[in-house]
Chains A and B, each alone.
Chain A
Amino acid sequence: MEDTMSLVKALKCRECEREYPLEPIYVCEFCFGPLEVAYDYDRIKKTMTREKIETRPQNLWRYRELLPIEGEPSDALYTGFTPLIKADNLARFIGIKELYIKDDSVSHPTLSFKDRVVAVALAKAREFKFNTVACASTGNLAHSVSAQGAKAGFKRFIFIPATLEYSKIIASLVYEPNLIAVDGNYDEVNRLCSEVANKYKWAFVNINIRPFYAEGSKTHGFEIIEQLGWRTPDNIVVPCASGSLMTKIWKSFKEMNIIGLIDGIKTKVFAAQATGCSPIITAIKKDIDVIKPVKPDTVAKSLAIGNPADGFYATQVVKESGGFGEDVSDTEIIECIKLLARTEGIFTETAGGVTLASAIKLKKQGYIKEDSSTVLCITGNGLKTQEALHGHTMQPYHIKPNLLSFEEALKKIEGTKG
Chain B
Amino acid sequence: MAVKVKIPVPLQRLTQGKDEVEGESGTVIELINALDRKYPGLGERISDGGKIRRFVNVYVNEEDIRFLKSENTEVKDGDEVSIVPAIAGGCFL
Instruction: Please list the residues of chain A having a beta carbon within 8 angstroms of any beta carbon in chain B.
Output: 15-16, 26-35, 135-139, 141, 189-190, 193-194, 206-207, 210-211, 214, 241-242, 290, 292, 302-305, 307-310, 312
Contacts and interface: CB of A to CB of B under 8 A. Distances in A.
Return the 9 tightest CB-CB contacts between A and B, nearest first: A34-B88, A32-B85, A32-B55, A136-B92, A242-B91, A210-B89, A309-B91, A305-B91, A309-B89
A194 B54 contact: no
Contacts of A15: 53-55
B67 A292 contact: yes
A190 B55 contact: no
B88 A27 contact: yes
28 contacts: A15-B55, A26-B89, A27-B85, A27-B87, A28-B55, A29-B10, A30-B45, A31-B45, A31-B53, A32-B55, A33-B53, A33-B54, A34-B55, A34-B89, A135-B92, A136-B92, A138-B93, A189-B92, A194-B87, A207-B92, A241-B93, A242-B91, A290-B66, A292-B66, A292-B67, A303-B93, A309-B90, A309-B91
Contacts of B88: 26-28, 32-35, 309
B11 to A, nearest CB: 10
A382 B84 CA distance: 39
Contacts of A242: 89, 91, 93
Contacts, number: 79
Interface string B68-93: 00000000000000000111111111
Nearest to B56: A32
A207 B87 CA distance: 9
A141 B93 contact: yes
Contacts of A34: 55, 88-89
Interface centre among A32, A33, A302 (most CB of B within 10 A): A32
A191 to B, nearest CB: 9
A210 B92 CA distance: 10
A139 B53 contact: no
Interface of B: 10, 45, 48, 53-56, 66-67, 85-93
A206 B89 CA distance: 7
Interface centre among B54, B91, B92 (most CB of A within 10 A): B92
Contacts of A189: 92
A194 B93 contact: no
Contact of B86 (A29, A32, A141): A32
Given A32-B85, A211-B89, 20 more contacts: A15-B53, A26-B89, A27-B88, A28-B55, A30-B45, A32-B53, A33-B54, A33-B88, A136-B92, A138-B93, A193-B92, A206-B89, A206-B91, A210-B89, A241-B91, A242-B91, A290-B66, A304-B93, A307-B90, A310-B89
